[in-house]
Amino acid sequence: MLGVQCRPVNGVALASSVAYGDLKAAGKEHLSFHSQPWRTGACHFRLRIQKPFLRSGVPSATRALVPAPPNGQSGASAVELDLSLNPRVAALKSSKTMFISDKATAMKESGIDVIRLAAGEPDFRTPQAIVEAGVWAAENNLTRYTPNAGTLELRKAICHKLQEENGLTYQPDEILVSNGAKQSIAQAVIAVCGPGDEAIVPAPFWVSYPEMVSLSGATPVIVPTLLEEDFLLKPEQLSEVLNEKSRLLFLCSPSNPTGSVYKLEDLEAIAAIVAKHPRLLVVADEIYEHIIYSPAKHYSFAALPGMWERTLTVNGFSKAFAMTGWRLGYLAAPKHFLAAANKIQSQMTSGACSISQRAGLAALNLGYAGGEVVAEMVKAFRQRRDALVKKLLAMDGVKLSVPQGAFYLFPDFSSYFGAEVQGGGTVNNANELCEFLLEKCLVALVPGDAFGEPKCLRISYAASVEELEEAVSRIEKGLKLLKRKESAIDRKEMIWI
């Protein structure tokens, strides 16, 4: 399969009319397809595809004739360039969340009034005390390389935070500060997984887990969970997939994309299974720990009896402190594993930005769980969640597990798959529903297949109440244009008079 993205070139089409789809690389040099009639500026595409890309599988030695540049900089008239990639990289999927966010941003920049609910980033400003600490660092010459693992001051503050808030005891040499939690997770995975290993990824999952596992050479083992069970991994499911190859289990609580939160007893039951497998380690992704709605409560997996030794705890500043652009996250792990991740970082990126580290220190000084400033943001997220949940539960054919944390909703819209669109066309799956909502209703969401659950769409409610209200009303209007298949309509939804 070859993923194709193209832009229609006829005059009618807007910048938003990007169609994409998969095609079988059947050796054809041309591919033709029509966009759906409901797409803005419906038009006909014809692509010419370079022969090398049509070979099945990942070409090991793809070569292409590269013409000499017109300015005559190259001595040769034409060179045969090897275009092959590392097979692990060639097989890597790019992040759909990023793709849709970028597309929605391009639409916005071209003057289209699109509401962007695709990105996973708080809409709040970074708290002032944090910004001031960053500015202070820049003005006071804290602009040099820091130690690879992060400044001792910051690592000590992280140890203090983990002790106070999470009941976890770490020493500064068991903390590795990185350019975001994404880097922390990638390094942890690459440090412990390799060819022949399996990593258990409960679905729905954060988009990057399986890709990071594949990049390490290990195999992701996706374990689907159910909306009816709040998308939580059941201990029996875990038992079933574990074997001597199992090296890693991912746990993300509160979860992106579902907002689900594991209760203490859920984690204890999982820990009891984990404890039986000496090779099994756990990545506990706790980046949303502070964005949680009581009575739900966050528990660190490493704090459970016997789990500290085998848990790689990841956290970061992006979400709770609205610091996505500062790029700061960390790994806390036993020295042996930490040192391996540290070594990777020392060869790949070195220490995180010195200015951000100072800002991170200020974030940790805001008080327990981020103090008042973070509590205010969480309060606002909660109001938005409550308002959206109410609206979504009232929509025909939409199923939802009420999220207990993070800032996402992950409703099941599958009863709309196969629906006819008023005016022509059908929406057949989450991708097409997302395209329809983006292009017809100007609301950007992410299709659930990116997270391993193709029945759902992810809605990020990191937007103002006004924007969210407008988005819901656009979605409602959009869904009214869809005539669901008889078989998709649950009779219980209908009110009989």
Ligand X SMILES: Cc1ncc(COP(=O)(O)O)c(C=O)c1O
Q: Which is nearer to ligand X, 256 or 429 (CB)?
A: 256
CA neighbor of 100 nearest in space, from 73, 120, 76, 84? 120
Q: Which stretch binds ligand X (CB under 6 A): 154-162, 169-177, 316-324, 448-456?
A: 316-324
Q: Which is nearer to ligand X, 204 or 478 (CB)?
A: 204
Residue 329 in contact with ligand X, rule: CB under 6 A = yes
Instruction: Tell me how many residues contact ligand X (CB under 6 A).
Output: 13
Contact 138, 160 (CB under 8 A): no
Pairing of strands 329-332, 408-409: unpaired
Residue 201 in contact with ligand X, rule: CB under 6 A = no
Residue 285 in contact with ligand X, rule: CB under 6 A = yes
Please identify which residue in 122, 134, 150, 180 interacts with ligand X, judged by CB under 6 A.
180
Q: Which is nearer to ligand X, 161 or 474 (CB)?
A: 161
Q: Which stretch binds ligand X (CB under 6 A): 13-21, 63-71, 177-185, 460-468?
A: 177-185
Our separate counts of H helices and E strands in the chain read 14, 21
Tell me which amino acid residue 320 is: A
Residue 283 in contact with ligand X, rule: CB under 6 A = no
Binding to ligand X by CB under 6 A, coded x per residue (else -) over 119-158, reads -x--------------------------------------
Question: What distances in angstroms separate CA 197 from CA 248, 257, 277, 331, one per listed residue?
Answer: 8, 26, 14, 21
Q: Which stretch binds ligand X (CB under 6 A): 107-115, 179-187, 423-431, 457-465?
A: 179-187
Peptide bond into 257 cis (omega under 30): yes
Residue 118 in contact with ligand X, rule: CB under 6 A = no
Name the residue whose CB lies closest to ligand X: 180
Binding to ligand X, residues 216-275 (CB under 6 A): 252, 256
Pairing of strands 329-332, 175-178: antiparallel
Q: CB of residue 455 vs ligand X: minimum separation in angstroms?
A: 20
Q: CB of residue 256 vs ligand X: minimum separation in angstroms?
A: 4
CA neighbor of 16 nearest in space, from 100, 106, 101? 106
Tokens coding 277:
């497998």
Residue 318 in contact with ligand X, rule: CB under 6 A = yes
Peptide bond into 67 cis (omega under 30): no
Q: What DSSP element (H or E) covers 443?
A: strand 443-444
Tokens coding 323:
């610091």
Residue 303 in contact with ligand X, rule: CB under 6 A = no
Q: Which stretch binds ligand X (CB under 6 A): 140-148, 178-186, 211-219, 422-430?
A: 178-186
Residue 453 in contact with ligand X, rule: CB under 6 A = no
Cα-trace Rg, the chain: 24
Q: CB of residue 69 vs ligand X: minimum separation in angstroms?
A: 37
Q: CB of residue 201 vs ligand X: minimum separation in angstroms?
A: 12
Binding to ligand X by CB under 6 A, coded x per residue (else -) over 393-412, reads --------------------
Pairing of strands 78-82, 246-252: unpaired
In angstroms, how far is CA 454 from the centroid of its own chain? 15
Q: CB of residue 324 vs ligand X: minimum separation in angstroms?
A: 5
Question: What distances in angstroms separate CA 493 from CA 229, 312, 392, 483, one per listed residue?
Answer: 21, 45, 14, 15
Q: CB of residue 121 vs ligand X: minimum separation in angstroms?
A: 7
Question: What backbone phi and psi angles, to 5 degrees, belong to 88?
Answer: -65, -35
Please identify which residue in 181, 274, 283, 398 interacts with ligand X, judged by CB under 6 A.
181
Question: What backbone phi and psi angles, to 5 degrees, belong to 262?
Answer: -75, 135
Question: What distances in angstroms separate CA 266 from CA 206, 230, 263, 301, 407, one per listed residue?
Answer: 20, 12, 5, 11, 22
Residue 8 in contact with ligand X, rule: CB under 6 A = no
Binding to ligand X, residues 417-446 (CB under 6 A): none
Q: CB of residue 42 vs ligand X: minimum separation in angstroms?
A: 34
Three-state secondary structure call for residue 428: coil
Residues forming contacts to ligand X in the complex (CB under 6 A) are 120, 180-182, 206, 252, 256, 285, 287, 316, 318, 324, 329
